[in-house]
Amino acid sequence: MKTKKINTATVAACFSVTAQALIQKLIESGTQVVGFGRKGDEQRAAELERKYDGKLTVLLGDLTDEEDCRQLVSQSQAILGGAIYVHYHCTGVYSWNRWEDVEVTEVERLFSANFTTAWILGREVFSAMKRRGDGSIMFVSARDTIRNIPAGFGPYMASKLALNGLVESLAAEGAQYGIKVNAVLPTIVDTDVNRQAMPDVDPMTWVDPIQLAEIMIDLTQPSKTNVSGALIPVSGKML
């Protein structure tokens, strides 16, 4: 019989606001966690590890590099006793651009952060879970990918639509191995960066990162055996 506890988890983009909320909630519930961050963030990694006193290990690497991702997953398995029960993928960037004048390099940056990291790291985690015959992977997409996309959001949403396709097709591939793959689709998440970028918008309508983390954890509980391939909208208020 499966336990309701998430024994181990990995969290990509571990310094982001949503990831920080996830790590806190997971560790409070008794989960052993490995976080993934970018090379060059050694100081922040050490500070974060000290905060959780042995319950969190932070590994640094390039999530667009196959070999780095392979090593990160291998190291994580060793740290977590051989098994990653859940992976939370919080990596992503946003920018406002019209298709007619967006730079090619900016589209590449959006796709690299929002899709490529999910695909390359995600498939390494998937392979590890496949060998064990169980696991759950949770991605973060965007609510407007399932609505009419406003002008200026095209390049960003295109990268998130690619992520949605990954979620649905990877879930289909994982069904026979007991691997669940889903994504939450929040509206704007309430962070300091977003408040500074949009000072004229009322943040009361945005998604609380702690509540988003709680939803993500709930959807990846071992008891949620029939939830896979789902794109789940999350709104601060119903708009």
Q: In order of start, what are the domains of the chain with their CATH numbers?
A: 8-234 (3.40.50.720)
pTM: 0.94
- Supply the pLDDT for residue 224: 84
| pLDDT given for residue 1 in this prediction | 33
Q: Distance of CA 87 to CAs 8, 15, 181, 182, Å?
A: 9, 15, 10, 11
Nearest Cα neighbor of 26 from 63, 57, 60 is 57
The dihedral built from the CA positions of residue 225, 226, 231 and 234, taken in this order, carries a sign that is: negative
Q: What is the pLDDT of residue 2?
A: 45
Nearest to 125 by CA among 72, 171, 166, 177: 72
Yes or no: say if 84 and 10 are a contact pair by the CB < 8 Å rule: yes
Confidence (pLDDT) at 237 = 62
Nearest of 97, 124, 100 to residue 109 by alpha carbon: 97
Q: Which residues pair with 189 in a beta bridge?
A: 207
Q: What kind and span of H or E run contains 138?
A: strand 135-140
The Cα angle at residue 83 between residues 113 and 32, in degrees rounded to 5: 80
Taking the chain (239 residues) in runs of 10, the rounded mean pLDDT of each run is 76 96 97 97 96 96 98 98 97 93 97 98 98 96 93 96 98 97 90 73 82 95 90 78
For residue 5, the 8-state DSSP code is: S
For residue 60, what pLDDT is reported? 98
What pLDDT sits at residue 3?
A: 46
**Alpha-carbon distances of 134 from 26, 47, 221, rounded to whole Å:** 19, 32, 12
In this prediction, residue 77 carries a pLDDT of 98
1, amino acid identity: M
Q: Which of 234, 229, 239 is nearest to 186 (CA)?
A: 234
- Helix 66-79 with 117-132: angle, nearest 10 deg: 40
